[in-house]
Structure 1
Amino acid sequence: MQRTPNWSLQQLPDMDMGQFRQWQALLEERTGVCVSDQRKTFLQTSLCARMREQQMDDYQTYYDYVTQGPLGAIEWSALIERLTVRETSFMRHRASFDCVARYLHERLSQPGRQTPLQLWSVGCASGEEAYSLAIVVEQALIDTGSSKRDYGIWATDISLQALEQGRAAHYPTGRLGGLTQAERNTWLTDTPDGRHAVLPSLRERVCFSRMNILELAQAPLRDLDIIFCQNLLIYFRRWRRRDLLNLLAKRLAPGGMLVVGLGEIVDWNNPLLERVPDDRVQAYVRRDSSESLE
């Protein structure tokens, strides 16, 4: 391996367009993420941070390394942590969580419901979204007088580091975002280091698992009451967004709800779904008469 210079004293190594296209294609092929030309500097910075740790200073040498053999596969897993980190917070888009709350109130009020609620946070990052859903479910159960806490939340992401953060469930104040003070007091506790810990009663309801969104067709999850997928699709090409959403629609139970980021996709329709009539959110409900999951 080549010895890298001290990059803190000079500019990043040059990346020509051929090298950029090569890395751009690899990332999209393996993760679906499309790095635009405007984000070339981001890609360079992320690559160089990892190259420095591996004592490399040439993009082609590093590309050959991550695309060959078992060691390359291990290195790719480490690199992906640099390339897929997303900023998030609790109740990041409050209107979407309020929409989920209204839906749950109606669904939990239906007579004769016996099966536990199943929710899925797709691209959960470090867990704030999944725990926000748990807070909404808990409050809905209280409001509707439900005697059982029958629900579970799947939280999936490609980043192992982010999933570990989610399992730890300790967050800085800046991540509390859209939580009300009452929600903070009820579901979080202060820690000696100035952070905030999610209560065990919520943590036990969330199962964190690694999943590449491109492997969605093989995902075992189905008959879900709520699928929440925000701030993920924006990194994909339009055709891939539509394909992924169509697959997610099939994983909903009849009457289940799909919530995506407002404006993340336009001109998309699915015959299984009906859009929620609320301009503040982009959410869809699966028709009760829909055909079963293929």
Structure 2
Amino acid sequence: MLKISDQEFQQLSQYIRSQYGIKLGPEKKTLITGRLGNTLVAKGFESFTVYFKYLMADESGEAAFELLNKITTNHTYFMREAAHFKCFQEKVLPWVKATSPLDARIWSAGCSRGQEPYTLAMVMQDCVGHNKQQWNTQILATDISAQALTAAREGIYPAEEMVSLPDRWRKTYFQPLGDGRYQVSQRLRKELVLRSFNLMNQQFPFRKPFHTIFCRNVMIYFDAPTKKHLIQRFYRHLAPGGYLFIGHSESLGRDNEGFRYVQPAVYRKE
């Protein structure tokens, strides 16, 4: 396995931070070596310096996406932080029905392998019921990892990631593949609009404001200034009264950036 020098690590970590907002402190040096070292050797790179030159010279973007897929963690499961989905069902959707009937605009930012937006889609189906044809229920689901988005499109998950789902959802929205894995039904997969998106973009290309943004366990990778700017952009792209869901290990800071606290890790635009 290749070893990375302090200078090489600083060079690579500064690039990752400037391009993607991900902060990698010195304690992550071993992680970088472990996740990239063998791959670099297999591809014939003699050092991390040579690899970095290749990364900078690659205009296709493939090298950068491969790097991201290696260093980001996409571990999640269905119904993670279940209180959030209960809040979405009991508070958010009734408000959307009352204020913007037939057009629910939901964004799962940092959707990973799709468990979060698929859970939101199932909650939505329960909410609209027989009025499905009259509603725009599609959910925007974005991630920077091409690998994660591919997994979300396939919608195939092991049984152990689905243990928290209600039985009726498993029977209605999943098809057993016979090998301990299940695939999300095609009709539910159609409810997601999956897109590659970098949250570090200074401008978000959305014409209409969202009623709800889920961005959970993403900002833990960002430093304070990056997180502050992202929260400000979320605020601008939420409708008045819109909800922001973040991870339980995250916070908005002391001033909450114009949001009002609703419950743990849930805020509302004032």
Q: Do Structure 1 and Structure 2 share a fold, with TM-score over 0.5?
A: yes
Q: Contact 2:74 / 2:148 at 8 angstroms: preserved in 1? A: no
Q: Contact 2:96 / 2:104 at 8 angstroms: preserved in 1? A: no
The code of the aligned residue for 1:282 comes to A
Give the match for residue 204 of structure 2.
Answer: 218
Give the match for residue 275 of structure 1.
Answer: 261
The code of the aligned residue for 1:89 comes to Y
Report deviation, 1:155.
0.5
- Find the partner of 1:91 among 67, 79, 94: 79
Where does structure 1 lack aligned partners over 5 or more consecutive residues?
1-11, 288-294
Residues 53-64 of structure 1 correspond to what in structure 2 (within 5 A)?
53-64=42-53
* In structure 1, C-alpha distance between the alignment counterparts of 2:17 and 2:101, rounded to whole Å: 42
User: The residue matched to 1:117 in structure 2 has which SS?
Assistant: coil
The code of the aligned residue for 1:182 comes to R
The answer to whether the aligner puts 1:176 opposite 2:159 as a matched pair is no
Q: Deviations over 1:239-292 (max 9, x none)?
A: 211110110111111222111112312424123x3221x2xx2112223xxxxx
**Deviating runs (4+, > 4 A) in structure 1?**
none
Give the match for residue 82 of structure 1.
Answer: 70
Q: Contact 1:116 / 1:152 at 8 angstroms: preserved in 2? A: no
* In structure 2, C-alpha distance between the alignment counterparts of 1:236 and 1:224, rounded to whole Å: 23
- Find the partner of 1:258 among 228, 244, 248: 244
Give the match for residue 22 of structure 1.
Answer: 11
Q: 1:68 to 1:48 in 2, by over 3 A?
A: same
Give the match for residue 137 of structure 2.
Answer: 151
Moved more, 128-137 or 50-59: 50-59
Q: 1:42 to 1:221 in 2, by over 3 A?
A: farther
Work out which of the two has the higher radius of gyration on C-alpha atoms and give 1 or 2.
1
Residues 74-223 of structure 1 correspond to what in structure 2 (within 5 A)?
74-108=62-96, 110=98, 113-142=100-129, 146=131, 148-215=134-201, 217-220=203-206, 222-223=208-209
* In structure 2, C-alpha distance between the alignment counterparts of 1:78 and 1:13, rounded to whole Å: 18
Q: Contact 1:92 / 1:177 at 8 angstroms: preserved in 2? A: no
Q: 1:260 to 1:222 in 2, by over 3 A?
A: farther
Q: Deviations over 1:32-63 (max 9, x none)?
A: 11112222111111221331331123111111
Report deviation, 1:31.
1.0
The code of the aligned residue for 1:262 comes to H
Q: Contact 2:102 / 2:135 at 8 angstroms: preserved in 1? A: no
Q: Contact 1:104 / 1:137 at 8 angstroms: preserved in 2? A: no
Q: Contact 2:96 / 2:211 at 8 angstroms: preserved in 1? A: no
Moved more, 258-267 or 215-224: 215-224
Report deviation, 1:82.
0.9
User: The residue matched to 2:80 in structure 1 has which SS?
Assistant: coil
Give the match for residue 222 of structure 2.
Answer: 236
Q: Deviations over 1:147-188 (max 9, x none)?
A: 634311001011111111111111111222532233222322
TM-score by length of 2: 0.91
The code of the aligned residue for 2:176 comes to D
Q: 1:159 to 1:23 in 2, by over 3 A?
A: same
For the aligned residue pairs, the C-alpha RMSD in angstroms reads 2.0
Where does structure 2 lack aligned partners over 5 or more consecutive residues?
none
Aligned residues: 268
Q: Contact 1:50 / 1:79 at 8 angstroms: preserved in 2? A: no
* In structure 1, C-alpha distance between the alignment counterparts of 2:62 and 2:169, rounded to whole Å: 40
